[in-house]
Amino acid sequence: MLERILRLAIILGILAALYIAYWKVRSSSRSDADEPPPWRDSRVLVLAAQVAALGLIWSAGDYLWANFRARTSDIGLELDFGFLDQPSGISIADNPLNSNAAIREALIQGVKNTFLIIIVGIPLAVILGTLIGIARLSTNWLLSKIATVYVEFFRNIPVLLVIVLTWTIFLNAFPPVRISWLPFGETFIFNNLRFGFPSIVGGNNFGAFQVIVLLGLLAAVAVWIWRSRLFDRTGTPHHRVLYGLGTLVAISVVGFVALGGPFDITTPEIIDRVYVGGITMIMPYAAVMIGLVLYTASHVAEIVRGSILSVDKGQVEAGNALALNSFQRYRFVILPQAFRVAFPPLINQFLNYTKNSSLAFAVGFAEITGVIQNLFGQSRPAPQLLLILMVVYLVFSLVLSAIGNLINRRLQIVGR
Amino acid sequence: MTDTAKAKESANLAPLHSDTTPAKWVKNNLFNNIMNSVITVVLGVVVVFLVVQSFGWIAGEEWEIVRVNLRNFMVGQFPSDELWRLWTSAFLLIGTFGIGTAAMAHNAYDDANEKGLVAERPSLLNLLARFWPVLAFVALMVSFSETLPPVVGVIAGVGAIVASRLVGWALPASIRSLAVPMMAIGTIVAMAVLAGTGGLIAMSAGVVALVIAASGLSRRFEGSDPKSMAIRTGGPIIIGAVTLVIVNAIGFDGFGWEDWGGLHLTLFATVVGIASGMPIGILLAIGRRSELPVIKGFCVVFIEFVRGVPLISLLLFSSFILPLLFPPSVETPETLTRAMIVIALFSAAYIAEIIRGGLQAVPKGQTEAAQASGMSAAKIQRLIVMPQALRAVIPAMVGQFISLFKDTSLIATIGVAEFFQFAAIANSQPNFLGKSLQLVTYSIIAVGYWSFAYTMSKESRRLEAQLGVGVR
């Protein structure tokens, strides 16, 4: 290391000496030039500082890389990605992949599981957090105190603890499989291994029905736009939610009847220890997701509260003067303005949520971090796997913040 | 009329007693319309149900596991015959910080009085109101104690807090102005009792001596003549080096941190993480604002990379890759040391972003005025920009401290037995295996984390109000 830096310093010194000599020659040949000497010339100094910094970073990196290569070749570690096609030797809960499937497939399944935590949890966290944030500002003393206790509790304990605590409570609160809790006439299944919910299963013409629903959705959007335009032009109440949903439901029902019942509702059942029908999730997934939602909601609630408080008091008073009730006041006056303020910090919370989903392995849910930790246990090459892990999270972060920034740009008022 | 006078006047104008009776209060705050009445009744039932349930649970649960593992939760596997080190260092810290903070409070009080502001002498009751969660947690823990020493120690500790606050307040002004260096020295001595006088401790003692000497000498020798400039630059270095040699030579054997654990380790890791992340973070923040593309690019990539990946992946890096980065001739450091390196870099990236925010809050005119008066770039940063930026980010730094305090629970996942880990360890002991007492241990852990984090977050809000950040 020291040797390297010394060598670098010598090279830089020679370069500097050459440049000074060049400057001397030039300034003596052109007597009218009032160029400063190199050690006072900001252009030269800027360049020199950057070359020095680059040299330092480069030599440090090179040094670490040399150590790394020496150590990895000592223990005979190959630094390629050929191992991705080998059988993984791990099995993932709730997944047809067995231990003979390639590592590549196990990793893809891990990414999918991470995505499942994110895509279900973030909307739930936003909804719960918004409700609690509003509750904190309620005039009802009890409601606002309960919301405050909730926020202060979850904000001040580690997220890992929240997840493990949720998991422990689920484990103790739900019965074992053989005496599963079957509420609502056996349409749900809850036990300490798995939760089951009713779902739909496609029958004849299900593909055609999906197309019809999609068309219905397009029609609903068209109706929505038509009602909005009408409202803008004539001022008649638009009722666009009512009209839009009505269009969608009407078209779907017509399609359902015309195609002769293209899908059925199935309820989950346990037949010979196998879950049949419905949609089921393993308990750790539910625990992780709910734990993360509870934790993130406490942060979202604070953001929402702050953004509501940031809305000008005159807006609320104007709403009162127009005789809006408290729901209308929130829906049409306060929340649209507050949301604009709340959105940038919310993006930050989404990113935190994504990163915190990496703690799911603590309760045995195999998302990407869990899969990779399992693979470490199989003594698979750590450097490559860790690189994959970090790249996956960086991609998730980048995509989320890109989407967030896009929405944010649409939200902000232009020209203020 | 000055602001204070106005404040005084409005305080006088406030009604002496409000005319709300309890019945009126209940009507106004709980039953002011039908909707709220329904909410109140429903929530009231739920709250009563939950409270009854949790009291039933607390009464019915076996708390033996906490009693048996009390020491594990607090200090982990710290050997019994070395425990005196912990007690000594704790009392040293209590003493110096009690005296130091009381002295600083007295200085601020005098300052305020001099300027004719309203100042109140901080009372012990006030302190109790601010730190009750931590005190309650300590009391809870002591109540689980099976032996006498912890009880005696904690009572003596509370006595020491009271005594040191009183002493600190009563000190003469000339000594009170030395509060900060005194606290720094107290911390170093406390650390030396724990970890011995060699290596890192000697080095940090040297650095602290250097910083203290630099600030002291630069105040005394202000001139620009060669002699005072030489004293100003050379003096601190000599003093720092001498301190390093002396501390190193004392030869007080310590106790490596590989056997540390429990809440002690969690608190220690947090403090070390922030303290070592701070200087790196400041450099990264300045680097990110640099106009030189190479330096700026490096800082941006580092900060964004660290902030973009979860801490757990960095900890996995520390346990699987970091050992491979040391030269083959060097023995790799232990797990905790490697984890601390990564935590320092992790917190540095977050601190850098906080400080960058503070730097952006300093008006550009400040820098331009400094440039106009001919200050060098380093001097502008050190004397003009940084003091203003750092003052603005104190609350955010406390927030970062809290979040690092919570995040240190993750080092459990790479096999370091800190506070969180002992909840699982306790349940795997033969006596408690299969009794599913996880809820008991996790709730104790939760109370522990909560009491510290909540106290700190309240403190940060108080600081924010005091510093008037965001209010101009």
- Cα(B456)–Cα(B451) distance, integer angstroms: 9
DSSP A35-56: PPPGGG-HHHHHHHHHHHHHHH
What mean pLDDT do residues A297-311 have? 92
Measure B25 CA to nearest chain A CA, in Å.
Answer: 10
* Residue B388: predicted pLDDT: 86
pLDDT digits (tens, 9 = 90+) for B156-191: 998 998 899 888 888 888 888 888 888 888 888 888
Residues in chain B within 8 Å Cβ distance of A153: 450
pLDDT digits (tens, 9 = 90+) for B233-248: 888 888 888 888 888 8
First to last CA, chain A: 54
Q: Which residues of A291-321 are buried (b: 16+ CB within 10 A; e: fewer)?
A: bbbbbbbbbbbbbbbebbeebeeeebeebee
Q: Which residues of A64-96 are buried (b: 16+ CB within 10 A; e: fewer)?
A: eeebbeebbeeeeeeeeeebbeeebbbebeebe
Q: Which residues of A234-261 are buried (b: 16+ CB within 10 A; e: fewer)?
A: eeeebebeebbeebbeebbeebbeebee
* Residue B405: predicted pLDDT: 93
Portion 25-44 of B in contact with A at CB < 8 A: 29-30, 32, 36, 39-40, 43-44
Residues in chain A within 8 Å Cβ distance of B454: 152, 156
For CA atoms A354, A357, A359, A361, give the dihedral sign. negative
- Report the residue of B50, B61, B309 to disrupt the A interface, i.e. the one with the largest count of A CBs within 10 Å: B309
Closest residue in chain B to residue A171, using alpha carbons only: B436
What mean pLDDT do residues A53-73 have? 88
Of B305, B423, B449, the CB nearest to A157: B449
- C-alpha torsion A404→B406→B457→A397, nearest 10: -10
Residue A204: name the closest of A269, A123, A260, A136 by CA.
A260
CB–CB contact A393 B310 (8 Å): yes
Whether A34 has a pLDDT exceeding 70, the answer reads no
CB–CB contact B450 A140 (8 Å): no
CB–CB contact A140 B29 (8 Å): yes
CB–CB contact A165 B446 (8 Å): yes
Name the architecture of domain A103-158+284-411.
Answer: Orthogonal Bundle (1.10)
DSSP A118-142: HHHHHHHHHHHHHHHHHHHT-S-HH
Q: How confident is the model at residue B18 (pLDDT cuts 50, 70, 90)?
A: low
CB–CB contact B43 A74 (8 Å): no
Whether A395 has a pLDDT exceeding 70, the answer reads yes
Measure A139 CA to nearest chain B CA, in Å.
Answer: 6
B220 is written with which tokens? 């005394």
* Residue B130: predicted pLDDT: 86
Q: What ipTM score was computed for the predicted complex, to two decimals? A: 0.85
Determine if residue B84 is left, alpha or beta; phi over 0 gives left, psi from -120 to 50 gives alpha, anything else beta: alpha
CB–CB contact B294 A54 (8 Å): yes
Closest residue in chain A to residue B413, using alpha carbons only: A362
CB–CB contact A160 B409 (8 Å): yes
A&B contacts, CB < 8 Å: 152
Residues in chain A within 8 Å Cβ distance of B446: 157, 161, 165
* Residue B282: predicted pLDDT: 92
CATH 1.10.3720.10 fits B262-326+333-355+384-472, yes or no: yes
First to last CA, chain B: 18
* Residue A155: predicted pLDDT: 92
Chain centre to alpha carbon of residue A82? 30
pLDDT digits (tens, 9 = 90+) for A93-121: 666 667 677 888 888 888 998 999 999 99
Residue B324: name the closest of A343, A402, A74, A327 by CA.
A74
Measure A320 CA to nearest chain B CA, in Å.
Answer: 17
Q: Give residue limits of the domains in chain B.
A: 262-326+333-355+384-472
Q: How confident is the model at residue B472 (pLDDT cuts 50, 70, 90)?
A: very low
Residue B321: name the closest of A376, A178, A129 by CA.
A376
